[in-house]
Every structure is written in C-alpha cells, then in structure tokens.
Structure 1
Amino acid sequence: MIDFTTTANITAAEALTLPGLLELRAKRSPDAPAYHQYQSDQNRWQTWTWGEIGREVGRWQRALAREGLDPGDRVAILLANAVEWVCFEQAALALGLVVVPLYPWDSPENLAYLLTDSGTRLLFTGSWEQWHPLAAHVPSSAQLHRVLLLTKPDQGAAATSDITFTAISSWLVDTGAQPLPRPTRDPDALATLVYTSGTTGPPKGVMLSHTNILANAEAILKVINCTPGDILLSFLPLSHAFERTVGYYTPMMAGCSVAYSRSMEQLAEDLRTVRPTILISVPRIYEKVYAQVRRQLDTRPFLVQRLFALTLWAGWRHFEAIQGRAHSSLAIEKLLHPLLHHLVARKILDRLGGRIRLAVSGGAPLLESVSRFFLSLGLPLIQGYGLTEASPVVSTNMPGCNLPASVGRPLPGVDCRIGADSELLVKGPGVMLGYWNQPERTREAIDAEGWLHTGDQAAMETGIIHLRGRLKEIIVTSTGEKVAPVDLELLIVTDPLVDHVMVVGEARPYLAALLVPRQEAWEALARKNGVDPDAPSSLQAQDIQETVLLRLKGILHAFPAHAQIRAVALLRDEWSIANGLLTPTLKLKRAVIEERYREVIDGLYRGHDLPA
C-alpha cells in the first residue's frame, strides 16, 4: 500500500527548474504510480513509478549528452503523447536544451517552417513514415542534423540524406554507471519554444522559461485541489501549452498519475478503462458529447425526453444551491435529485468513466448552455482561460465558486485589468519572455509596464472575468454593425445537424455562414425534404436552404436582427487539422477557410438583396 500522505505538492522554489521538479518527485514518492500507457505489443496497460521514470530519464540524458549539443540549442519532439515524450523532454531540459514541441498531425509545410524558424538541430519522431512527408519541405539551409526514430529508418532512403537517422533502440545504449551530466539550474533560462496555432497568420514561437511554467503550475494548485490518488487521462497533445502545463507539469508537482490515451478514436473506451478522476479537455470534446446525447434523445419517446428535462432541472437547482446562489427544497435535495441522478444522469457520466471529480475546459470558450448541461448532470465542470503567452492559465472557476458564464478569477499572483477597446491585459510570473526572433511583435504584445495584451475583449465584475470575443475576430458589416462571430458559432455548433460552422460578413451587408453538416443528420434532413443526400445539387436545394436558415433563426432567436444569418452555404468537405482548416486545438483557421472558400462566400452575396 502506497502512503500518499508523503507526497505533498512541490513548490516552484523547491523545484527551481522543470527537470528539478521531476528529480524531487522521484525522490519524494519513488514507488507511487506516475504514468500508464497501453503497450500494443503486449496487449496491456503498463505502469511506471516516479522512481522508474527518474532512472529512465537518466538513461535518455546520458545518450543525449553524447550529441555534443550546447545549452540553448533547440531540439524538437514530433510524437503523440507517450512516456517516451516525457523522457526525451526531461532529458533535454536537464541539459539546458530548448524543447520545441510539434503537433504530429500538423501539415508537412508548417512543420518544416517551425523546424527552420526555431533552428532545431535534433528531431525526435515516431517513424520513417512520419518523417518522409516532411523531408521534401525541410530546406538544405536548415540546421537539423539528426532525426531520432522510435522505429528503424529506411536505410536506403536515409543514405541519400545529409541528415543522420537513428533508431531509439540503438541510440539508447546501456551507459552503465556513467555519471549524469550536471543538470541546468537556471530557473530563468529559456526552456521551450511553443508555437502558436496561427489562426490569423504565421505561427509565432512563444519563449517560456522554467519559472514561467512552474509558477503557473503552482498557482493552479493553490486554487484547484489535486491529490496523489488522482489519475488524469491525457488525450490533448502535449505540444499544446494547456495540456503541457495543466496535464503534465501540474500532476508532477502534485504527485498525480497520468494515463496516455491510445487515440481519439479509442478515447471512449479508454475513459471506461482508465476511469480518470480528473478530465482536461478543450470545449470541442464536451460539445460532441452534448450533441450526441441530444441526437439520441430526439429519437426517444416523449416521456423519456420529459424525464431527461426534469433531471436537468433538478440537477441545476441542486448545483445552484451548492454554489449558494439559490435555495433548493427538501423534496428536491432528498428525493427527486438523487433518484433522477441515479436513473438518468449516472448513465451518461459512466461513459466518462464514472468517477470524475473534476472536469476542466480550456483552450477556447465553452458555451454556457453546454456547461450547464454537464453541471446539471452532476459533472463538476469548470472553465478557465489562458493563452500560450501566459504559460498558459490566467484565470479559472473553482468547484466551490463556479459561474459557468465566466472564466473565473485570476490565479494567485496574476494581475488582470481592462485596457483600451475592452482588451484584457495580464501581468504575472507566467508572462512569456517574448516571441522568438521577433522583438517588434514582442513589444506589441508586452507594453513598457509589463502588461501582456491578450487580444481578447473582456469585462470584470467583482473580480470575475467575462470574455466578450477576440478583437481581431469582430465582424463589422457594411452597415456599421459589430458582431462577435464566435458567440453565434458556439450556439450553432450545438445543433445536432452541425459539425462545423463559420460566420462571415466583414464589410458585407449581412451575415452568412459556411456550414459542414454531420453525415447522419444530413442524410435524414435531405430525405425528409425529398432530395438525394449524395447528389451534389442537394446542398443548394431551395427547400434545404430554407429549412436550415429557419433552423438557424430558431437557434439565434435571442440575438438582434443584425446578428442573424441571412444566407448559408452547406459544404460536404472535411474540416480537420490534417487539411489545415483547424488548429491543433480544433479552432477555426479563419483566414485559411476564407481563402479556400472565397468564391463560395462571394456567391452568398452575389445578386442577394438584404432580406427583410
């Protein structure tokens, strides 16, 4: 039996650096579980203790020290979440190297840009198949000289390259008792370059120090209780600052264990197998579960639908009573809510493993109705706010102080204020060192007083932050009306018909939308309107267009007339990370989508008068 009482949180001052954090954790709780990973060759889940991870990182560190790299040199990781990701990153950081995390499903062109822009000298990736599409885009002037692979390289193809390719199995030779190289101990040194998603332009390399990240993780643990008995299921990419700080360094600081999901396709099964106590996700995952439940509910008898509605009503009353914002009757608290929770809500929560005590949403705004849905079912869901440039968490709701319409209060040690144009400004130990090789962009982002300009519009009420949209994403129609498209999109995407949607209308007379329907829902809608769902012309059928517009009108009924959708283009295309239309955190790449569908958008306004 592991004594979890001996694994208290490690402070930033104690750790000093990120490799110092692992070193302390391995010493403080060597026999406690650290990571769980599915081993496909053994058809089972394997568990590593903190002590085992510490020793394994030492092996990687000795191997990496032989590369002759200097402190400050950049090394990149192009790999799915795995124990190997952790070992390589920790080994590199201990040697004073700067880690550049890359998204495995990013486009070859963008990956080559990031490798070149960062001056990466060594890349660690999964397989030759993962490297091959990238190879043609890496210029000869790039500083990359070695690629480490989890599997064996293609020797014939490798022989024609100036880059050396090595399999990890031969690279990680037994180094015996060779002393470890002296680890870096400078907390203010550059630890990592985290490239932004580039929703509105080329990616920028955000420079974060050891102190930036450790201070952010420590502040999170001051308001969110994590215990060594907790287990997280990690499925968001470690390449993203949100998952890396909240789902990697914070658990290490608290002594929690982390299980790495096999894939997004196997996430549902992994949730039931791992049964995590803490779930960290972007809104898109919660939205998908919400939409799936709604689709299934639409096919159920009227009485079942009414029972579900009653469950949500009683659950919300219970939640508001716990928050001290409402009084709940004895009948609801003692009889109705427990009964409905057992009969209805528990079945949905069991899909998420059945024992989640904290669910976190970040990386993008979460629609209040989706948050209320899960809170009413009894899922303790909190929403926070942050950005890569702040390491990344700025504010968060807390289980005992949870206002779903907000992103909560600033973390301890983080100052926030509202600047010109209602822009949220942030100051604190997590604010980045700057943008890599872009001093002018750095000066634009961080003013002379040290305030980080987030680009997000917000309001603060009694210290609680309410987001109002992105400054650069506000649509100004030709009539002078201003609309935040995200507010509309968040509502529209909750409709079971909608997979993706983007609202357009900049300098146009009215708003329109590009809409990608879900396949099953589209087929049902098409047949209901008497058209062949597989016929290309069915997307433009008048009855379909009128039905969808009427549906959008119902969804957006609370918005003013100038914020209504007056034209829509239905698309059968896939919007994904792989084809460059979504960022790795599933946000819309607006500029890219607008360019790809420029003719379609023009057609939404060509010959159309402003409807009454």
Structure 2
Amino acid sequence: MATAEHVSEPVEGLTIPRLLRRNARRFGDRPALTTGPGPEAGTLLWSQLRAEVAALARGFTVLGLQRGDRMLIAMSERAEHWIADLAAVHVGALPCSTDDTLSTAQIRAVARHSAATVLVLEGEQQLRRWRPVLDDLSHLRAVVLLDWSAAPADDPRFVGYTAVRGALPPDDAGFEALTDAVAPDQPLALVYAPGATGGPEGVVLSHREVIHESLTQDRRLPVPDHPRSVACPPTGHVAERALGMYLPIRHAGHVTLCPEPDQLLPALRAVRPHAFFGTPGVWEGLAAALRAELAELPEERTAAPGQTRTTAPAAHRPHSGDGGVPTDPAETPERLDARVARPLREAVGLDDCRRALSGGAPLPAGVPEFLASVGLPVHEVRGVGEATGAAVTGVAVTGTSGARTAATGETPPGPSPRRHVAADEPHTAAIEPTHP
C-alpha cells in the first residue's frame, strides 16, 4: 500500500502559479488550451496562456480584487474561463465556478454565501440568469462581462472583459512577485456541490491538495508526458477541477475544451485523448455509440466481444488468472483487441485513452461491463469535495451470477483526510484550510 510519504515529497513547494510559470518557460511552445474540435478552433500555447493570465490579473487589481476576496465565474468551457480563474488565483483571491444547472434561488444562496466581490459572466445567457440576484449581493463591486454587447446600459458595476484585460501595461516583475507570493497551503478554489437544495456548503481546496490528487492519479492510472485530454463537464465540479484542470497544468498537457455537449464525439475523434473524465450520462451515450458501431460489423467479428463481455474487466487487470480469456491460443487478448475492440474505440476517439474516469453518480447497469469488453475499462471515482474529488477508484465487474461488484484500487492518502468546509462567514472561516 502506498503511504503519504511516497507521494508527498514532490508536492513540497509546488503551487498552481509556479507550475504555470514552469510550463510557460520550459514548454512555452507546446499547446495548452484549444477551444472546440473544428478547423476554426483556437489554441493557446502555454506561454500565451500565462501572458493572458498576467494581463487579466493586472486588470483584476484595478477592480480592487485582492487576497482573500471571492470571485464567481459563470462561463462555459472556454479559454477565458481558465484565464479568469487563474488570474484570480495569482492575486490571492478565491475563484468559484458556478454550475449552469443552478436555479435562481440556488444562485442567490451561493452568491450570498461566497460574499463575492467580483462576478465574471460570459454573455446574455448567463446575464439573464444572474441579473435577478445582483441587487441582493451587498459585497459585489464589479461584474466583468465577456460579451460586452449584452451589457445593460444603466448599471455602472458592469465592465468589459477586454477593458479589464487591457487596464494596465505589462509588468513582468510584478507578476513574478505575485507568482512567488502564493504558498502551497493557501486556498486555491472554492467549490459548491452542484444542484444542492439546502443551504450552500462551500469547500475550500488548497494548492497542496489538488497537486497531491494529481500525483495519486498518476500512480493509479499513468498517462504519457504532455497528455491530451478533453474537458466537457462544468468546471464547477470538484472532479473536473482536480482532474480536468489542475492535473493538465501539472503535466503541461493539451486540453481541448468542449463548450457544446453535442460536439463531444467530434472532439474525442479529433483529439484522441489520453485521459477523459465524463459523467455517467456521457459514458452511457458513448456506450450507445459503440453498440451502434458494433451492430454494423459482420457477424463473425461481433461474436468476439460477446464471448469476453462478462470477464473483460478481469483481463484488463494486471493479474487476472481466472481463465476468462479466449481458449483459442491464436486468439490472444492482444489479437482480439487489435482485430475487434481497438477499431471500435477508434470510432469514438478513445483508442489511446489510458485514464477513463466517471464520477458524480454510479454508472448505469451494464455500461461499465460493456465498455470494458471493448477494452475501455472506466474507473468510477468515488469521493466528495472535502476529499478533493477522488477517494477511491474502481472498475465494475460482473460475475457469473450477474451480481455487480467493484475491483477497487487504493488511492494513496493525502496530507490530511479532511478538508476545510467554508462556514457561514467565508471571509474569516474559509480562508485557511485545516491540516491536523
């Protein structure tokens, strides 16, 4: 079993701003963020991403955003979402991405509880949902709007994203000082449980915690250097923050942002990601697409996955030894995979996927077993925000009786099994995470 000592040493001294600086200096010409899968998709290199973060951080200071403040973000999966989030982190503020499924009452509760001083909105759609609560937020000083054409004419709190970005000239020394000032145990982000119906409960994540989480995932499910990934779930989910945002920053990976759910399949086919985190509904849709591909194959090729479907998860474990592989010595698992399963995975862009994760709820019955039968074992992440996302991961296994169990992998323990939960007075209680 791995212990905290096995994984905590590389964490020392690391923060998200320092990792971003490393990426810009060492891997500056490598792609960082691409928005959308099509030919018109725009890409930011790591050097360009950090430059954008620096520009917006300077503008945020002009708005009065400072260490200890909260900043709420309501945006789709796009580069400006990352830029705004990371810019707030550099000035010492606490960003929080809100879920698009929140009702007006839930938006009001989260906004009041966070005591946010700055709100960043994408455009007319987000403004329509947030405007009914703006006058109830006594701490709010500014609303930054990406699409300035949607701005109301009679509200001085509104300012354009472009104006904030260009508010001050470059100051490299000042930005390096901001980067150096961030400590590993400082708060990094504030996360609220999406769809909560009661009073909001905010969880504070620190730099040390999310970097440790990325290390534990590497030990459990390694990926190549500079891995490709596709980001689809909202950044308000703790798992997508830890696994889809902070982990690629540590790896200097290439993230393709998918703002529209109906573009996910084209994005996967274009990117062929090494890592992908999806909700149960996303995996159910991908399983349906794979079944449709399977139905188009000749009968002699469709028989092979069916023969191994109930035991395929065991075949993907390091030590199976349960006899659940084809008896024909010429039809080894490797040949079976190359002949039938890999072409199926190629059809949905997941033939190179090394880290397939699902979270938020259990996968529907039969979905993980089918995916494993075509060589795509999906690890179900079980955990909560207080544990920075993942607590354990496992692959569903169906035995001969049809009963469903889980082949669970241990996740090395972090520096603390507890995470600080933001209290009702966030300006005092949520600033310092506790580490017994």
Normalising by the residue count of structure 1, what TM-score does the alignment of the two structures yield? 0.60
CA RMSD of aligned residues (A): 3.4
Residues 349 and 101 (structure 1), Cα distance of their counterparts in 2 relative to 1, 3 Å cut: same
Structure 1 position 308 matched with structure 2 position 331: no
Query: Helix, strand or coil: the match of 1:320?
Result: helix
Structure 2 CA distance for aligned equivalents of residues 114 and 277 of structure 1: 34
Partners of 1:229 and 1:189 in 2: how far apart?
Answer: 26
**1:265 paired residue number:** 262
Tell me the residue number matched to 2:86: 90
Q: What is the distance in 1 between the residues matched to 2:137 and 2:309?
A: 60
Distance 2:37 2:282 in 1: 25
Separation in 1, partners of 2:130, 2:366: 41
Correspondence list, 1:187-266, <5 A:
187-199=184-196, 201-266=198-263
Contact 2:194 2:237 in 1 (8 A): no
* Selected match of 1:166 from 159, 168, 173: 159
Change (3 A) 1:153 1:122: farther
**Measured at CA, do residues 435 and 276 of structure 1 come closer, stay the same or move farther in structure 2, by a change above 3 Å?**
same
Larger Rg: 1
SS of residue paired to 2:406: coil
Give 2:228's aligned amino acid.
I
Q: In structure 2, what is the Cα distance between the partners aligned to 1:132 and 1:94? A: 29
1:48 Cα shift?
2.0
The structural deviation recorded for 1:236 is 0.9
Deviation at 1:336, TM superposition (A): 6.8
User: After superposition, what is the alpha-carbon deviation per residue over 1:246-301, rounded to whole angstroms, capped at 9, x for unaligned?
Assistant: 1111121122211111410111111112221222112221123335656898x889
Aligned partner (choices 285, 288, 306) of residue 288 of structure 1: 285
- Cα shift readout 1:43-82 (whole Å, capped 9, x = no counterpart): 5122222222122211111111212223101111111122
Deviations along 1:539-559, one digit per CA (max 9) or x if unpaired, are xxxxxxxxxxxxxxxxxxxxx
CA shift, 1:214, in A, is 2.2
1:14 maps onto 2:7 in alignment: no
Partner of 1:37: 35
- Specify the SS of the correspondent of 1:76: strand
Q: Structure 1 regions of 5+ residues with no counterpart?
A: 1-9, 415-427, 451-612
Report the secondary structure of 1:429's partner residue: coil
CA displacement, residues 428-474 of structure 1 (integer Å, 9 cap, x when unaligned): 536321233279xx9xxx9x997xxxxxxxxxxxxxxxxxxxxxxxx
Paired position in structure 1 for 2:105: 109
* Contact 2:57–2:90 (Cα < 8 Å) also in 1: yes
Q: Give the one of 431, 434, 452 matched to 2:418.
A: 431
Query: Structure 2: how far apart are the matches of 1:264 and 1:372?
Result: 24
Shift of 1:309: 5.2
Shift of 1:25: 2.5
Deviation at 1:391, TM superposition (A): 0.7
Does the 8 A contact of 1:233 with 1:259 survive in 2? Answer: yes
Q: 4+ residue stretches of structure 1 with deviation over 6 A?
A: none
Assess if the C-alpha contact under 8 Å between 1:158 and 1:164 holds in 2: no
CA contact (8 A) 2:239 2:390 kept: yes
When the two structures are superposed, what TM-score results if normalisation uses the length of structure 2? 0.82
In the aligned structure 2, how far is the partner of 1:284 from the partner of 1:145?
38
Task: Map 1:113-152 onto structure 2 (within 5 A).
Answer: 113-152=109-148
Kept after mapping to 2: 8 A contact 1:128/1:149: no
Match of 1:76 in 2: 72
Runs of at least 5 residues in structure 2 that lack an aligned partner in the other structure: 1-8, 397-403
Taking the TM superposition and a 5 Å limit, the aligned residue runs for 1:404-553 are 405-406=405-406, 408-414=408-414, 428-429=415-416, 431-437=418-424
Considering Cα pairs closer than 8 Å and 6+ residues apart, tell me whether 1 or 2 has the greater RCO. 2
Question: Does 2:368 align with 1:371?
Answer: yes
1:335 is paired with a residue whose SS is coil
What are the Cα deviations for residues 7-62 of structure 1, in whole angstroms up to 9, with x where unaligned?
A: xxx942131x222221223233222221222398xx51222222221222111111
Aligned partners of 1:449 and 1:195: how far apart in 2? 20
Number of equivalent positions: 410
SS in 2 for 1:147: strand
Note closer, same or farther for the CA distance 1:141–1:169 as it changes in structure 2 (3 Å cut).
closer
Q: Which residue of 1 aligns with 2:61?
A: 65
The 3-state SS of whatever aligns with 1:187 is coil
Letter in structure 2 aligned against 1:238 = T
Give distance in 1, aligned partners of 2:150 and 2:324: 66
SS, match of residue 203 in structure 2: strand
Kept in 2: contact 1:226–1:256 (CA 8 A)? no
Q: What is the distance in 1 between the residues matched to 2:236 and 2:408?
A: 25
Is it true that 1:334 corresponds to 2:321 in the alignment?
no
The answer to whether the 8 A contact 2:326-2:332 is kept is no
Contact kept? 1:271, 1:351, Cα under 8 Å: no
**Structure 1 residues 185 and 47: alpha-carbon distance in aligned structure 2, compared to 1, 3 A threshold:** same
Describe the superposition over 1:86-122 as per-residue Cα deviations: whole angstroms up to 9, x where unpaired: 1111111111101121123432332222112211111
Contact 2:185 2:207 in 1 (8 A): yes
SS in 2 for 1:14: coil
Among all aligned residue pairs of Structure 1 and Structure 2, give the percentage whose two residues are the same amino acid.
Answer: 23
Contact 1:313 1:376 in 2 (8 A): no
* Structure 2 residue matching 1:393: 3-state secondary structure: coil
